[in-house]
Structure 1
Amino acid sequence: MAQNLAAAKPDERYLQTIGYKRNNPGNLMVQTIAYSGKSNDQAKDGPVAFITMAKGLRALAMDVKMKGRTYSTITEVLTKYAPSSENDTKGYIAYVSKKIGKGATDKLTFDDKTNIALMQAIIAMEIGYGTCPFTETELQTAVTAAKVSE
């Protein structure tokens, strides 16, 4: 069973990360996607900035949802999400697999529970210093919001 990363007390260093400061806990980098709630004040490089954390969480939920339409395993999703040109992709895959309790090549269902588990693990890796500072309720709200619009 997947670990409940939201239940752990987060290491508060996440408050100083660029992703957190830009309301983008998934460190989404694609500037060309017209996410709802993108800030008008975008940096030339680095993670996209959102006007609220809820919008940044929704964007991550949308990204996971969209990848789930094309890819079916943690390896496939993270090879696209965290390319080796920018990340230790193999290490990222191993980390997420362990955190959500699924093998790297196991087929995923991409239901709400799986999407939330993926979001928790991605956030823990990207800004959380090993924990996800958001509640499951906040993540479920983002997943639900990602369902109602693109």
Structure 2
Amino acid sequence: MMRRLAAVLLLGGVGWYLVTPRQPMPSSDDTSGGTTTGGLGESGIPWAPDYDTNPQPDAGTDNDSGGVLDWLGDFDVTTWEPRGVRNNNPGNIEYNGTQWKGLDSPPSDGRFARFVEPVYGIRALARVLDTYYRKHGINTVRGVINRWAPSTENDTGSYVEHVAEEVGASPDAPLNLTKPAVRVPLIAAIIEHENGQQPYATALIKRGVKMA
């Protein structure tokens, strides 16, 4: 009798296991580090972690994750990204033959420079700001943006207001553009305005500034 009861219990347990839905086991090679839902994060990229599509840079934090940058390095840059991000040229510097360090091949997309990595595009942006300051004496947000994005092709007034707000300075306040504490948030604000997003970690921007 006991043997029959044990057999019935065993068969019942096996049957329950087969018909009960189970959560899939996590993959041993999943290195996304983020929360996924059915293999798709909010980003819509397979196995990409959820992220803030428009993260705000924190100029005072070296370990800022940078939002999009967390997964950007693990996936090929695709055509849905802004032109500046796609070209690793987030300042949208026009190619005029200048042999920038880190130029890609071909060096332009027909108008704008292309770089092999974002840090080189950020470095080039920092170099231009350095030239503005040292050679031309430009030391205000308004002065920088008026030269960077002339009103013939841009809504320079809105650009100035946006960058000044992000930097935390009035448009005509004198700034020391040689200081990383000034250049890093200024560059982050320019990147955000040029691309509609600022996808890079603060640490990467600081690295580009240091390389300039």
Q: TM-score band (shorter)?
A: 0.7 to 0.9
Q: 1:15 to 1:65 in 2, by over 3 A?
A: farther
Partner of 1:62: 127
The 5 A counterparts of 1:45-56 are 45=111, 47-56=112-121
Q: 1:15 to 1:24 in 2, by over 3 A?
A: farther
Match of 1:91 among 130, 135, 158: 158
Partner of 2:110: 44
1:116 aligns with 2:184: yes
- Alpha-carbon contact 1:38-1:48 (below 8 Å) kept: yes
Partner of 1:5: 56
Q: 1:35 to 1:120 in 2, by over 3 A?
A: same
Partner of 1:142: 208
Q: 1:9 to 1:40 in 2, by over 3 A?
A: closer
RMSD (Å) for aligned C-alpha atoms: 2.3
- How far is 1:74 from its partner? 0.8
Output one character per residue of 1:36-80: Cα deviation in whole Å (capped at 9) or x when no partner.
1112312322x2111211211111111122222220111111110
- Alpha-carbon contact 2:141-2:172 (below 8 Å) kept: yes
| Structure 2 CA distance for aligned equivalents of residues 20 and 113 of structure 1 | 23
What letter is aligned with 1:123?
Answer: I
- Alpha-carbon contact 1:65-1:115 (below 8 Å) kept: no
Unaligned runs of at least 5 residues, structure 1: none
Which has the larger share of strand? 2
- Alpha-carbon contact 1:73-1:108 (below 8 Å) kept: yes
Using structure 1 for the length normalisation, give the TM-score: 0.83
SS at match of 1:49: strand
SS at match of 1:40: strand
- Alpha-carbon contact 2:90-2:121 (below 8 Å) kept: yes
1:31 aligns with 2:82: no
Output one character per residue of 1:104-138: Cα deviation in whole Å (capped at 9) or x when no partner.
110001111100011010011011x2x42111211
Point out 4+ residue stretches in structure 1 off by more than 6 angstroms.
none
Using structure 2 for the length normalisation, give the TM-score: 0.60
Output one character per residue of 1:71-101: Cα deviation in whole Å (capped at 9) or x when no partner.
0111111110011111101110010011111
- How far is 1:31 from its partner? 2.2
Instruction: Mark the structure with the bigger radius of gyration.
Output: 2
| Structure 2 CA distance for aligned equivalents of residues 32 and 108 of structure 1 | 30
| Structure 2 CA distance for aligned equivalents of residues 124 and 101 of structure 1 | 15
SS at match of 1:83: coil
Q: How many residues align?
A: 139
